[in-house]
Structures are given as C-alpha cells and as structure tokens.
Structure 1
Amino acid sequence: MQSPYQNATDLPLSSAPRLTPLRAACAALVLAGVALAGCNRDQPATEARPGQALASVNGEEITLLQLNEEMQLAGVPAAQQQTASKQLLQALIDRELLESVATKEKIDRDPKVMQAIERARSLILAQAYMQKRVGDAGRPTEAEIEDYFNKHPQFFANRRQLAMNQLVMPASAVTPALRAVADKARSLEEVAAYLDTRQVAYGRAQVTRSTADLKPELAAKLLSMPKGQLFLVQEGQRALLTAVDEVRDAPVSLAIAAPQIAQYLANRKNKELAEAEIQRLRATAKIDYLNKDLAPDAAAPGALPAAAPAALAGLPGAAPDTGPGAEPAVGDGNGDSDIGPTSGAVDENARADKAALDRGVAGLGNLSR
C-alpha cells in the first residue's frame, strides 16, 4: 500500500523557496532553450514582447511581463520581491545575451538543439492540456482522511522507531572469515576489534528508521530481532553490519498527519484522472508499432505502458510510483524527524543505508549471535 509521502510532489508548499542569485540564474538558464523556440528576431522589438520595458539588451527589450512570469515560476514570496526583481532582471539580461550569441552562431539550427526545443514544446503542450482536462480533483473529505489514517496504523497510530548502529566497510572486506566472526560476535564492538587487528578501514554510523519508512515485511523482521542481533547488508561497493539498538513507540496523531494525508489523496486522485484520460486517448487512437520489438508486451489494446507518460509529469501526484516500501517518515512533534519523505530529510549516505535496508535482510547475510 502506498503512503502519502512517496513522492516529493506530495508535499504541501508550506513556504516558498528562498531565492538566491545562483537559483535565479540557474532557473533563467534552464528556460533559455524554450525561449529559443519562440524567438523571432525579424519582428520589431516594440511589438515582439508586449509590456512595460525594463531594460534593453542590444536593442532587444526585457519587459515587466517577462519579469512577472519569472517571479511566478520562482515562487518568490511578497517580502522578497523587491530584491528578487533585481536578481531576476539580471538573470533575464544574461539569458538574452546568451540567446543572442547562440542565434548569431546558428546554435539554434543545431539538430540536437532543435530536437530539445521541439521536445520542450511537446511537453509544455501535453502538460497544459492535461492540466486543463483534469484540473484539480479537490480536497478530500475529513471522512476520507480519517479512513486512510485508520487503515494504515503502521504509518501513524502504531508507528515505531528503530535506532540502529552500523559498521560501514568496503564490500571487499566481507570475507568468509569476517562472516564467521560476526556469526559468533555478541556486539558490533567485537567485530570492530577484529577489523582493527586486520587493519580493515571502517566507519561508524547511527541511523533511525520507523516502521513507516520500511516495507512491512522488513519492518516486521527487524522488530522480531533480539536487541543487538547483527545482520549484514551489502550496498554496492560497501557493506553495512547493523544492530538494532532500541525500539520505541512513536505514534502520530490524526491532527498531525491530516494535512499530508489530504495532499496525498488529492494527488492520487489527480494521477488517477490523468491516467484515465491517457487511457481514453489511447482507446480512441490508432497506434501502429512499426518496430514490433518496441511494442508493449502482452498489453491489452489501449493499455497504458509500464513507464509513466511524459504528459503526466507536470501534474501534482503524477510522478511515477517508487514502488511499495517507500513509506512516510512522519515526525512525532518532538524533533525526531520531519513529516515528509525521508529523501528530503537525510543525506546521501543515509539514503544508501535505507536503500540497503529496504532490499531486505533475508538472503543478504543475516547473522545470528
């Protein structure tokens, strides 16, 4: 069962992002390719871009309309708009300079650039149509929110936190001899002492996961382990020898969880409507696969392929599912963790730790005392 925190798009926008000069410049440069598609330098500058002119770059005007659009795309809060206006105007000037020299050097006629422009145009049109067609599914009712809360106690009312200690080492260090030592060891310290005698480099880490972070079967297995039991998981070029140090109750109330549940349910409804529209269009279209090797495998006529279509990418909640087990990391109000996806709350090493744990303990060198 999915949780309401699987995708970054599921998070409510509690506050607009803080604008920095680097963010403004990057946002402007990213949009340069799309700007090339609509550029017509043969048209007089006074007619090409309607709106109050704010600056002129080699005769090409930058207007208030353009600045307002950039401001809206950047999500600048009202208190920062004066400062942001100056930054964004400079970014627009930079973009105009880059666009101008790119056009002079005929980069806009480069086949790869033309293809990128056409792809951007196609995506924009597809997303605009889907937004117009699907719109907003609306906020779920309080009864729907409470029903989801009650049906997923492992995420909320019965949520538990597991504090774990780890020894992190190169995967090449996991030899039969090390496994034998770990099988007999009663603590990570005994294994660490063995690694010291063999001069094997290792690091230490502490991670906290909740039953909402893990797949149900993995969470159940970890909860059933005696305190201190060791298990080994290999993650790419490194290995994690882990022991559960503490398990404690960490329930989340309906009042705390309700906003995220509401956002998730609304996003899920939008996604369902978008997929239904794609299905409708496929059912009424004549689609011939000229290369039969690329046709969907054993798909019913008009069935949606496994890969999420690009037309859904711009809709809230329409990002591809990350699969079962990518569950919420919901805080309890005591600062233990934030409400939201773990991908936004942990660093890269912690993400790798979670990925390793999510693959399961069974079959990956589960070690008993």
Structure 2
Amino acid sequence: MKTKQMILASAAAVMMLTLGACDKKAEGQVVAVVNGEEVSLQELNAELAGQQVPDSVDKKQLMKEVLQRVIDRKLLVQRAREQGIDKDPDYLTQQRRLDESLLVTMLGKKAAAGVKIPDAAAIDKFIADNPQMFTQRTVYTLEQLQFDVPPNPERLKALEKDKTLAAVAQSLDSLGIKYARGNSAIDSASVPPALLKQILALPAGEPFILPNQGKLYASVITGQRANPTPPEIARPAATQAIRQRDLAQVNTNTLKQVRDAAKIEYQAGYEAPAKAGTPAAAAPGAPAAPVPDAPAVPAPTN
C-alpha cells in the first residue's frame, strides 16, 4: 500500500511538473518557451552584449535572428541531456573549469570597478616617467628568426656566443632546429622599460631572443622611426595604463592573500616547482622575457 502511494505521489509530481511546463507562456520578460524551458529577455540581451551593431541594422530583426540561435542551442542542449551527456565525467570536468574561469573573470571585473580613476597629477607623473610610451615613443623594425622551443631547452645555450643573426642561424642549423625568417616591428610603448633598455644597450647588429606565444624569436634591430603619442591621446592612454597597472597590483595582492591563507596539500611528485616563471631559454645579449600586451596607447601611424 505504501509503495502504491509512493508511485501515485511520484506520478502526481510528474504531472504537476508537466502541467507547470505547459502553463509557461512567452510573455512579459519571457521571449520564448522551448519545450517548457524559458528564454528570458535578459538572456537574449546577454547574447547581444559586446557586439558592435551598426546603427543601420534593424535591431528588432537582429533580436529575432539571435533568438533563433538561442533556441537552436537550447534544442541541442536538450538532446544532449536526453543522451546523458550532462552526466559524462569529461563534461563535468570541463563544466567545472568553465565555471571557475567565469568566476575568476567576474572577480576581476569587480576588482576593476573598485580601481580609482587617477587624478591629473598622477597622469602627468606617469607620462613623465614613461617617455618611451609618449614623447619618446619609437617603432623599431626587426629582422627575425622564428623557431620552436626544443624538448631540451638547455641546447639553446649554444646561442649565447652568437653576435649576429647569421651566427644564430648557423647554430640552429648545427642543432637541427628548423626556423623561419621574417620581418617585424616592436613599439617601445609595448615593451617593459627595463627590457627595452637592455635591448638598446646591445651593440648594433647583436641579436636578442624573446619568447612570444609559445615560439622563440631571435631578432636584430634594422631601423627605427620616432612616433610620439599625440597630446590629445596621451592623457586618456595614460589614464587607462595607470588603471591597468593598479588593477594588476590588486590582483597580485588578492592572489597572495588567498595563497597565504590557503591550506594546500600535494601528492608526491606534484609539488610546486622551486622557482616558477623561469624563461624557456636565455637570450644572447639580453635575457629572455615575455613581451606583454601593449598598454592602452594607440598603434603607430604613418
């Protein structure tokens, strides 16, 4: 009897859920209902967030097109759940990683909202302290050799003796490391001042090696062009650069605080390395170091 009551109760619950789904209507803040699943106006607006929509575009028609994409996605998601994919361990692992990334991103946005806008004195000081970004901004043309980091980076120590790009090419040939030749340029506004100072201190024609996006680049400066940042652009650019710097410091402090307060246990063999962030290879003449994204300074103009 009890079992029968439980079955009846379960059946009633399913019926109530089904009726509830049928009762959902596309009205008010609900722009569509897909097999009982609502699509809200807020969700639709989130799909459009960040998109550059020209003024000439029919906004209402665009919303309809975007809504169809949302509906198509929800239909495929529902099919995936029917097949049990949402219970797959690989899915659950990736879902957790995406959730964590989203939380970190939103934590960063919250921190950015708390970073103060610098006053005029701070902006003037920043411009004066960073002439390579403003009054003395320069574009340096480069001749380069691009190559992959070998499985044993220690082999690249052989390049430390090379004083010309041709010598680097010969060393790479002798090591059996393939490379590609090319030309590029660096903007003094995008290079850390200390690193730029080391590069410019090298004798003319002596190469330096820097990693970038998983590759190594052996480069020599072949020319330069002055490109000072216009005064009307300098102050907004300095403002943004100061806020980026301050936000980076906030994030660094936050990470240090949570690490210091955390209890972290490692399985044997997975301990943190003794020294993190070691460059993949040393550079002849100048130490290897990643070149960060350019500060908020507009690209050079001819």
TM bin (shorter chain): 0.5 to 0.7
Q: In structure 1, what is the Cα distance between the partners aligned to 2:66 and 2:265?
A: 47
Map of 2:294 onto structure 1? 328
Map of 2:84 onto structure 1? 106
Most deviating of 50-59 and 252-261: 50-59
Structure 2 residue corresponding to 1:265, chosen from 211, 225, 242:
242
Structure 2 residue corresponding to 1:140, chosen from 104, 109, 118:
118
Q: Displacement, 1:128?
A: 4.9
In structure 2, the gaps of 5 or more residues are 1-16, 150-158, 170-177, 278-288
Q: In structure 2, what is the Cα distance between the partners aligned to 1:292 and 1:222?
A: 42
Q: In structure 1, what is the Cα distance between the partners aligned to 2:37 and 2:126?
A: 55
1:229-308 aligned at under 5 Å gives the runs 229=205, 231=207, 244-277=221-254, 287-291=262-266
Alpha-carbon contact 1:168-1:239 (below 8 Å) kept = yes
* Residue identity opposite 2:301 in structure 1: N
Map of 1:158 onto structure 2? 136
Alpha-carbon contact 2:138-2:227 (below 8 Å) kept = yes
Most deviating of 144-153 and 111-120: 111-120
**Does the residue aligned with 1:259 lie in a helix, a strand or coil?**
helix
TM-score, reference length from structure 1: 0.50
Q: Deviation digits for residues 255-293 of structure 1, max 9, x if unmatched? A: 32222221122233334345545555666x5x4334375
TM-score, reference length from structure 2: 0.58
Alpha-carbon contact 1:230-1:241 (below 8 Å) kept = no
Q: In structure 2, what is the Cα distance between the partners aligned to 1:55 and 1:333?
A: 48
Q: Deviation digits for residues 20-79 of structure 1, max 9, x if unmatched? A: xxxxxxxxxxxxxxxxxxxxx866265599844444444544343321232235465665
**Does the residue aligned with 2:135 lie in a helix, a strand or coil?**
coil
* Residue identity opposite 1:326 in structure 2: P
Q: In structure 2, what is the Cα distance between the partners aligned to 1:296 and 1:260?
A: 38
Q: Deviation digits for residues 90-147 of structure 1, max 9, x if unmatched? A: 2101211111101111111122323333444455556556755774323211221111
Residues 1:72 and 2:39 aligned together: no
Q: In structure 2, what is the Cα distance between the partners aligned to 1:269 and 1:156?
A: 19
| Percent identity of equivalent pairs | 24
Alpha-carbon contact 1:145-1:261 (below 8 Å) kept = yes
Alpha-carbon contact 2:24-2:36 (below 8 Å) kept = no
Most deviating of 92-101 and 208-217: 208-217
Residues 1:90 and 2:57 aligned together: no
Q: In structure 2, what is the Cα distance between the partners aligned to 1:169 and 1:133?
A: 38
* Residue identity opposite 2:225 in structure 1: R
**Does the residue aligned with 1:251 lie in a helix, a strand or coil?**
coil
In structure 1, the gaps of 5 or more residues are 1-40, 172-178, 193-200, 299-305, 308-322, 336-369
Alpha-carbon contact 2:32-2:40 (below 8 Å) kept = yes
Q: In structure 2, what is the Cα distance between the partners aligned to 1:238 and 1:67?
A: 40
Q: In structure 1, what is the Cα distance between the partners aligned to 2:222 and 2:112?
A: 48
Instruction: Report the count of equivalent residues.
Output: 250
Q: Deviation digits for residues 216-268 of structure 1, max 9, x if unmatched? A: 466446546676x3648698999977654333333224432222221122233
**Does the residue aligned with 2:95 lie in a helix, a strand or coil?**
helix
Alpha-carbon contact 2:26-2:33 (below 8 Å) kept = no
Q: Which has the larger radius of gyration?
A: 2
Map of 1:314 onto structure 2? none
Map of 1:320 onto structure 2? none
Q: Which structure is richer in relative contact order (CA contacts within 8 A, separation 6 or more)?
A: 1
Q: In structure 1, what is the Cα distance between the partners aligned to 2:258 and 2:215?
A: 47
Label 1:66 to 1:140 Cα distance change in 2 as closer, same or farther (>3 A).
Answer: same
Q: In structure 1, what is the Cα distance between the partners aligned to 2:211 and 2:247?
A: 35
Label 1:273 to 1:210 Cα distance change in 2 as closer, same or farther (>3 A).
Answer: closer
**Does the residue aligned with 1:245 lie in a helix, a strand or coil?**
strand
